A = this chain, B = another copy of it.
Amino acid sequence: MNQRYMSDAKRLSISVIGASGYSGAELVRLLLRHPAVELDTLYAFSQAGKIFSDLYPSVPCDKEFLRYEGETGSDIYFLALPHGEALNLVPALTDAGKLVIDLSGDFRLKNPDEHERFYKQIKPADAWMTYALPELGRDEIINSKAVSNPGCYATSIILGLAPLFLDENSPAKVRSVSCTAVSGISGAGRTSKTELSFSEMSENMRAYKVGQHQHTPEIMQALGTSASNPSFDFTFAPMIGPFTRGIYSVLTVAFDGNFRDCSPSELYSSFYDGAPFVRVRSSMTEVRHVAMTNYCDIHIAHRSDNGPLVIISAIDNLLKGAAGQAVQNMNIMLGFDETLGLLL
């Protein structure tokens, strides 16, 4: 593999804008131990002036959070900001020739109407970047200088469905997908809401935004259709459960036609051949199997000849669902091995 940007003379420098939230902090943790880049500057807004390891003492990093004011001194910029904020910052960074990896939803959707409908924000028609889900398109990522990192639910769900939609060997047309996905509470970010307090969420579970979650259109887009004009019935019930990290998606897929002469496990294994972070497993998948890793574990939990498939897909929402995948994308963009700094 051509390590296009690596040199002995100087490691590439990195800044993280929005480094004080959970995804940003995971980025810091991963980048500090990455063998081929150099973490430079941490930007944050409400936490500006504080020291990283005072907020996250388990990570030994004594950098101070600075307020971002348009600096372009690093080679690579990760943005881990609330939705809507990257829209204003990315253009200047790409104009300055920086590599940009944005973890927000701002640049994921090609269709601005869907963006408006699901994010309640208006954005320019050209405000989209390469949708960087490596397992679906390394080539496009390797040729990009600015990419949009997928959403956490979206990563889990798209990877769990992609072979059925995108592999030409898939024998049957999908008629409907019913998706329930339980996220750990860190998915809501580092917040102070009463309804996310320990006393409210311990021994609890609840759905929210059923049928309205903003990851819906990016899932449809990645599967080759759209939320506006879907090629199949898609229902999505997101939930939070009493754990911190992880997303556990159960995907019930009904078909026109059937899988009688096809092994879905073989279809999936073949589709993800060469994808180091997707594991098609013959035994049941659990959140704990992927927590603190960049893996997406997929298990075909049930099949019948004529009836639906039930597929289970699990990730760590902060790693494969955010910071881990962002570093994976950086590795690909820089020509490194995709797994560099991401195993163990």
Residue from the list B32, B250, B287, B343 in contact with A237, Cβ < 8 A: B250
Given A192-B193, A233-B254, A244-B202, decide whether A58 and B288 contact each other with a Cβ distance below 8 A: yes
Beta-carbon contact of A242 and B198 below 8 Å: yes
A33 at the interface (CB under 8 A from B): yes
Q: Which of A111-119, A155-163, A205-213, A321-329 contacts B (4 or more CB under 8 A)?
A: A205-213
CB < 8 Å neighbour of A302 from B191, B205, B211? B211
B308–A178 CB distance below 8 A: yes
Residue of B nearest to A193 (CB): B192
> What residues of chain B lie closer than 8 Å to A304, measured between beta carbons?
211
Known contacts A199-B244, A202-B244, A288-B204; is A344 also within 8 Å of B180 by CB? Answer: no
Interface residues of A in 181-239 (CB under 8 A from B): 182, 184-186, 188, 190-194, 196-208, 210-212, 233, 235, 237, 239
Residues of A244-286 contacting chain B, CB below 8 A: 244-246, 248, 250, 252, 254, 281, 283-286
Q: Which of A93-101, A122-130, A132-140, A290-298 contacts B (4 or more CB under 8 A)?
A: A290-298
In the complex, the answer to whether B57 meets A211 with C-beta atoms within 8 Å is no
Over the window 26-58 of chain A, the binary record of Cβ atoms lying under 8 Å from chain B Cβ atoms (1 yes, 0 no) is: 000100110000000000000000000010011
Shortest beta-carbon distance from A254 to chain B in Å? 6
Contacting pair A235 B302 (CB below 8 A)? yes
- Shortest Cβ distance from A11 into chain B, in angstroms? 16
Is the beta-carbon distance between A241 and B283 smaller than 8 angstroms? no
Which 7 residue pairs are nearest across A and B when measured between Cβ atoms?
A: A211-B302, A57-B289, A178-B178, A178-B252, A210-B301, A206-B286, A33-B344
A285 with B211: CB separation less than 8 A = no
Check if B203 sits within 8 Å of A285, measured CB to CB.
no
Asked whether A286 lies within 8 Å of B205 as measured between CB atoms, the reply is yes
Task: Tell me which residues across on chain B come within 8 A of A22, comparing CB atoms.
Answer: 199
Is there a chain B Cβ closer than 8 Å to A172's Cβ?
Answer: no
Q: Which residues of B contact A60 (CB under 8 A)?
A: 343-344
Nearest CB of chain B from residue A32's CB, rounded to whole Å: 6
Cα(A201)–Cα(B286), bound, Å? 10
A176 contacts the other chain (CB 8 A): yes
Complex CA gap A290/B56 in Å reads 10
Bound: A178/B308 CA distance, A? 9
17 contacts between A and B (CB under 8 A): A57-B289, A58-B289, A58-B293, A60-B344, A176-B254, A185-B197, A198-B202, A200-B288, A203-B245, A203-B246, A203-B287, A206-B287, A207-B312, A210-B302, A235-B252, A237-B250, A241-B243
